[in-house]
Amino acid sequence: MTETVAAGSPAKAFSLAHVPAWAWMGIWVYVVVLINGNLLLNDTDTYWHVATGNWVLDHGALPRVDIYSFTKPGEAWISTAWLAQVLFAGAYRLAGWAGPVVLSAASFAATFALLCYILSRRVPAAFVIMIAVAALLLSIGHAFARPHVLALPVMLAWVYGLMSASERGEAPSFWLLPLIVLWTNLHGGFLLGLVLVGAFALDAVWNARSSQPVSLGLRWAAFGACALAATCVTPYGWESILASRKILQLGELLQLIAEWMPANFSSFSPFEGVILLSIAGALFWGVKLSPPRILLVLVLLHMTLSHVRNFEIFALLMPLVVLKPIVEQFGLRTSGPARAGFPAASAVALAAAVGVLTGAVVAHREYTPRPAHSPAAAVDVLKRENAKRILNDLPFGGYLIARGMPVFIDGRSELYGEKFVTRYFRALQLKDVNQLLDILRDYDIDAVLLTPGTPAITLLDHLDGWQRVHVDETSVVHARKAN
């Protein structure tokens, strides 16, 4: 009898029934995103991120000046997302475009697995699923093979650590600091992590017993100082902080770049639906939050209303901010103890199965960046024309960099600055014809590569000294006429 039980134990260890629900959610998200992997390549910046990673790998150094444009050559520029770019470049070298797709899908899936793990420790499974699906709907529109996706699980783990410490009435463990170091080297959004240290410190002090606030506040202040110092643990040191701040200081320019635009309520969207349902639920059930949590909610909402690129931050962090108050107010309980892990044998078997599934999907799907951002035929024409100084439309900047051609402009807005980019947009939209003529003259432009429908095309078609040399569904090329 004893031998029978012992013999049966290993078989039980391999049972997929031991896999917790949060892991299944991660696998489901991974498979869905992987199958639709071309959506991850729908952003032209992916090109120059991979190119920068390749440059770092080839040179064994990090860029400190602009290496891609002919308009800002040699101007100071650092890559705050260097580690993510190296990871993308390594994945690309290993498996072509399937590499960045798999890497991004895995990171995205890990984010939602972690979100579900956190929620499942506090609320019933039905609530976990509803929140996770809502968060997925809000986040998927900004799920691109870009550094911010690799930083998402790190951000969530960092905030969970801060939240847990605050709710225990303690200062965070210094073991959290490696997370902010990793975040800093992956993406410039780490500044949010520093801000949230102060926010959760306020929450901890607010809820502390009367004899503790001062000492607790000092411990949080010490942790915050160490977190600030940790963000300097990069090849660039404190320059990463200064570079990340530049993006927030672009003024009017932020209204011209799609992902930095404010939320648009002219038509119904998942974001509006989530906001309306949240307001309705709070009014109906009388949700109450402490002042520090209310402040956090308002800050997250303001960030999201100001810039659509913050949708995923709102979707992932808002549930954590309101989780404990709502659980305590309404007495929510999980249906059973959340399983933090599962037997190693089952984990290995599951990982192997996911690996096989990944290979099967990748083998039967061709991953390619969006054709509208990849004007291959037009660039071939420009190379035949021996064009050196090309006035390019912004969506083509990444592809030109990937093809080894100097660009007029690309997605690094912090390099070009508000004045330069605003002038550029006004010129191409013909809001100031003289600005377009000045650009053509001042930068000695010998070819123009624009997307169909750009107003400047009409002027170039009738401008002396210029001729249209190529047109297709993605691009229009004009070149100077030979003298």
Is 60 exceeded by the pLDDT of residue 338?
Answer: no
User: What is the distance between the alpha carbons of residues 261 and 290, in angstroms, rounded to a whole number?
Assistant: 31
> Residue 444 is encoded by which pair of tokens?
């000695």
Determine contact, residues 270/138, Cβ cutoff 8 Å. yes
Residue 34 pLDDT level (bands cut at 50, 70, 90): very high
pLDDT at 241: 85
pLDDT at 253: 64
pLDDT at 1: 40
The hierarchical CATH code for the domain 371-480 is 3.40.50
Pairing of strands 390-392, 447-450: parallel
Sequence-ordered alpha helix ranges (H) in 60-97: 82-95
Which of 25-34, 35-44, 336-345, 434-443 comes out lowest in average pLDDT?
336-345
Strands (E), 175-298: none
> Residue 89 is encoded by which pair of tokens?
């470049």
> Residue 23 is encoded by which pair of tokens?
């892991």
> Residue 88 is encoded by which pair of tokens?
């993308």
Number of H helices, E strands in the chain: 20, 4
Residue 344 pLDDT level (bands cut at 50, 70, 90): confident
Ordered by start, the domain boundaries in the chain are 16-344, 371-480
pLDDT at 345: 74
pLDDT digits (tens, 9 = 90+) for 56-85: 999 999 999 999 999 999 999 999 999 999
Cα 95 to the chain's mean position, in Å? Answer: 22
pLDDT digits (tens, 9 = 90+) for 173-183: 999 999 999 99
pLDDT at 481: 85
Q: What is the identity of the amino acid at 131?
A: I
Name the 3-class secondary structure at 397: helix
pLDDT at 9: 44
User: What is the distance between the alpha carbons of residues 478 and 210, in angstroms, rounded to a whole number?
Assistant: 72
User: What is the distance between the alpha carbons of residues 148 and 81, in angstroms, rounded to a whole number?
Assistant: 9
pLDDT at 8: 43
Residues 6+ apart with CB under 8 A from 279: none
Determine contact, residues 177/227, Cβ cutoff 8 Å. yes
User: Mean per-residue pLDDT for 297-304?
Assistant: 92
User: Mean per-residue pLDDT for 126-153?
Assistant: 94
User: Mean per-residue pLDDT for 384-407?
Assistant: 95
Dihedral over Cα of 197, 202, 208, 213: its sign: positive
Please state, in angstroms and as integers, the Cα–Cα distance from residue 145 to each residue in 45, 141, 244, 320, 378, following that order: 9, 12, 20, 25, 24
